[in-house]
Structure 1
Amino acid sequence: MRALTWQGTKDVRVETVPDPQILNPRDAIIEVTSTAICGSDLHIYDGVIPGMRAGDILGHEFMGRVVDAGRGSSLRKGQRVVVPFTISCGTCFFCASGFHSACDNSNPVETQDATETMFGHAMSGIFGYSHLTGGYAGGQAEYVRVPFSDVGPIPVPDDLPDDQVLFLSDILPTGWMAAENCDIRPGDTIAVWGCGPVGLFAVQSALLMGAGQVIAIDHHPNRLELAASLGAKPVNYRESHVAEALMEMTGGIGPDAVIDAVGMESHGLAPDRLMDRAKQAVGIGVDGIHALRAAIHACRKGGRVSVPGVHGGFADTFPTGAVMQKGLTLRSGQTHVQRYMPSLLHRIAEGEIDTTFLISHRLPLEEAARGYEGFRDEQDRWTKVVLKTPAADWSG
């Protein structure tokens, strides 16, 4: 089969690789029809995610049709399914508690030690996201093996095109959980740093949850226009002093809750960001947390901080004092996708949520490398890239 493989920093190639096989009775084999490039894939592309090996198959946002299933799978051949990016066993303490992205059993024992050392506990398995998360082959391929297929994939009706449901695999539930972690009350003001895919879905979700106003912060004009089209009030950080603008827009109180949808590679020329980059260059620091610092400083006293943006290492000058002195609540985590998929699928089917506005480019899988380059280097124009395999129906 054909699949996109990682070969090094900014070096990804579509190659011919062996077809996946059933290895466990709970496995299923999916023929991929649509798969997307995620913002967190760019962390791999930029070389900041450890544990990658040459030849690893990338991609964790995908869907397709079942072509084979083990005897322990709940899926049947021919079913059309969306697959969550997190791999979850469904039976451990965390899965049973609804914390599917904290699964204790999906990351093989031989790859758990590194993350247990880094974070205190081992991470769960994730498709196409380094050997720290199990080394599972990803979905930017013609076929993929799906472990624990009786727990993860959700069947979708044939009358909903791929483009409407593909983002159930990751970014739509991630944006929803980001908003949910804000504990939104009617009339609240929510400020969102970053109008990438997750940030835009967080904007959409916060408004659906009853926020009085959502303020979207970015510098890309097209992305800010997309946020405004959803109902947000845009703030361009290159044209405005964000902290002052937020105080003015909230009557001098500050946002009730803030969302860092940027993560560890925040950009800009702020002094703290330049210092982060200098430390990264000499191997002292890992995460660039300018957006998170700004969000914490802007949040009102007693407010809530939600962090869906990917952070993977350590950071200097974290504003611990602001968190404590203002009495802030901070919530984060990989998304518990399985928890949200059924209700979000229902909202899509009922027309309450549209996700297709986000897609700027549809490319064949063979052009995946061009998709990565465009998505990274032209972020204002390339808002979301969907890759289609030969099995895809391009009409969606």
Structure 2
Amino acid sequence: MTNRADIDTASTPSLAGPPTMVRAAVSMPDTTTTIRHLDTSAAVGAVGWLEVESSAVCGTDVGLYGAGLDSPTVLGHHVVGTVVSVDRTQSAAWDVRPGDRVALEEYLPCMQQDCPACRIGDHRMCPQTDLFVGKRRVGLVPANDGSGLHGGNAEYMQLSANSLVYRLPAELDADLAAWTQPFANALDWTVDAGGAEEGSTVVIIGPGYHGISAVAAARAVGAARIVVIGVPESAGRLEIAESLGAVPVINDNDDLAELILRATGGEGADVLLDTVGLGGQAVAAARVLRKRGRLVIGGLGSTPVCELDLKSLVRGANTIVGVRGRSPDAVTRSIELLAGGRSGLEIVPSVDIGLDEVDDMLGRMATGQGPVSPHVVIRPQLRRPNTQKRGTLS
């Protein structure tokens, strides 16, 4: 992408800012969502505004929603949109102008030099933006904070000085653009943390949003064998994984390690990625890792404490690593691969919904009744009934 930091932003064209009142889907602590009109003039600390193109639904959104939010909130942290206004300082800092399409990370870090994480640009580890501590994140700031437009489930959302903004190619397909964050997560987890490379055998537990993304990440680096394991209820999603080149395996209360050995011809895995939080079961299955193999844990599940086979770990020189979020470099690579048509994710059906359908969809997903395709995308500008694009799986 061309750097435009030397352009005089005072002379760049300006688009109209957001309307005073904006439609937003406000999710409540009682696991309901209501449509409200929020006031952009009440914004505090806004340095720009984004017209939201898409807000892809992540498992974190569903989990927080199902558990009960602390206060009314405009959810949505996998956000893509068009900049409609931005002040000169941030235009130069982000290298964006009004009219540019961008993707956001959810982190709203403190950006202080005395913060060990922010000092080195590792914003996902800043305590202020930690999901369990500071909670200053896109899609998690309460609706009573200023304008309340801090999440993607709204027609517009405000940009703050500590927003993390990535310019997108103008021609990038809207469905693919919505994969920017989950695909970046998958590249970080599967390739950076997991070490997947050309010729690797990668085993992925869970064919959900991030599991499907991980298949694409493993495929992008040339993994020789990709196996995806799911429960019987996920058969439709396993079909999607298979269409991306993975070997689908149904786990009907079988021994996980034995399943992996059978699926890999007895060779085991170089990378075992747990996207669902199996906990002890995943750790027990680490015994089938190949030499210098890695178990990557992307969720705690219900067994955050479990026994570890140290003998097997040492003999194999294996690694166990926990992951969360992604690095800025992973976001950049995600955009490049998506724009270059090298992700394969274009074949995954997109289930697009408008703001009026958010209440029903989040409720269904929170009770395990969501659509087959894990790619559920809220399109705030959409004013027609639920539409599924490119595919027959819903």
Q: 1:3-46 deviations in whole A, cap 9, x for unaligned?
A: 22222253233322332766447x32111121111111111122
Q: 1:241-285 deviations in whole A, cap 9, x for unaligned?
A: 43212223445452122101113xx5xxxxxxxxxxxxxxxxxxx
Q: Secondary structure at the match of 1:56?
A: coil
Q: Which residue of 2 aligns with 1:61?
A: 78
Question: Shift in Å at residue 124 of structure 1?
Answer: 7.2
Structure 1 length-normalised TM: 0.77
Q: 1:46-84 deviations in whole A, cap 9, x for unaligned?
A: 207xxx332122110111111222342123222221112
User: What are the residue-to-residue correspondences of 1:323-342 with 2, within 5 Å?
Assistant: 324-325=313-314, 327-342=317-332
RMSD between aligned residues = 3.3
Preserved contact between residue 100 and residue 339 of structure 1 (Cα < 8 Å): no
**323, 342, 350: which one pairs with 1:352?**
342
Preserved contact between residue 21 and residue 29 of structure 1 (Cα < 8 Å): no
Preserved contact between residue 76 and residue 138 of structure 2 (Cα < 8 Å): yes
User: What are the residue-to-residue correspondences of 1:1-396 with 2, within 5 Å?
Assistant: 1-19=22-40, 23-24=44-45, 27-47=47-67, 52-74=69-91, 75-88=96-109, 92=113, 93-95=116-118, 97-103=120-126, 107=129, 115=132, 125-129=136-140, 137-148=150-161, 152-168=164-180, 170-180=181-191, 181-219=193-231, 220-238=234-252, 241-263=255-277, 289=279, 292-300=282-290, 302-309=292-299, 311=300, 315-319=304-308, 321=310, 324-325=313-314, 327-376=317-366, 377-379=368-370, 381-390=372-381
Matches of 2:52 and 2:341, distance apart in 1? 25
Question: Shift in Å at residue 333 of structure 1?
Answer: 3.0
Q: Closer, same or farther in 2 for the Cα pair 1:17/1:124, shift >3 Å?
A: closer
Q: Which residue of 1 aligns with 2:7?
A: none
Q: Secondary structure at the match of 1:368?
A: helix
Matches of 1:290 and 1:380, distance apart in 2? 28
Structure 2 length-normalised TM: 0.77
**Any stretches of 5+ residues in structure 2 without a counterpart?**
1-21
Q: Secondary structure at the match of 1:383?
A: coil
Q: Closer, same or farther in 2 for the Cα pair 1:320/1:45, shift >3 Å?
A: farther
Question: Shift in Å at residue 353 of structure 1?
Answer: 1.7
Letter in 2 for 1:328: N
Question: Shift in Å at residue 208 of structure 1?
Answer: 1.9
Q: Closer, same or farther in 2 for the Cα pair 1:355/1:247, shift >3 Å?
A: closer
Q: 1:208-236 deviations in whole A, cap 9, x for unaligned?
A: 22322111001211111111111111110
Q: Secondary structure at the match of 1:352?
A: coil
Question: Shift in Å at residue 146 of structure 1?
Answer: 2.3
Q: Secondary structure at the match of 2:342?
A: coil
Preserved contact between residue 73 and residue 148 of structure 1 (Cα < 8 Å): yes
Matches of 1:204 and 1:86, distance apart in 2? 24
Letter in 2 for 1:315: P
Preserved contact between residue 192 and residue 259 of structure 1 (Cα < 8 Å): yes
Letter in 2 for 1:145: Q
Letter in 2 for 1:188: S
Q: Closer, same or farther in 2 for the Cα pair 1:372/1:295, shift >3 Å?
A: farther
Question: Shift in Å at residue 184 of structure 1?
Answer: 2.2
Matches of 1:15 and 1:102, distance apart in 2? 33
Aligned residues, how many?
351
Preserved contact between residue 58 and residue 140 of structure 1 (Cα < 8 Å): yes
Preserved contact between residue 152 and residue 338 of structure 1 (Cα < 8 Å): no
Which stretch of structure 1 is more off in the superposition, 312-321 or 323-332? 312-321
Q: Closer, same or farther in 2 for the Cα pair 1:68/1:87, shift >3 Å?
A: same
Matches of 1:61 and 1:147, distance apart in 2? 16
Which stretch of structure 1 is more off in the superposition, 172-181 or 94-103? 94-103
Q: Closer, same or farther in 2 for the Cα pair 1:257/1:195, shift >3 Å?
A: same
Q: Secondary structure at the match of 1:303?
A: strand
Matches of 1:139 and 1:72, distance apart in 2? 23
Q: 1:159-211 deviations in whole A, cap 9, x for unaligned?
A: 2232121221x211011111111112442211110110111111111122232
**Any stretches of 5+ residues in structure 1 without a counterpart?**
116-121, 267-288
Q: Closer, same or farther in 2 for the Cα pair 1:294/1:381, shift >3 Å?
A: farther
Which stretch of structure 1 is more off in the superposition, 62-71 or 170-179? 62-71
Matches of 1:293 and 1:12, distance apart in 2? 37
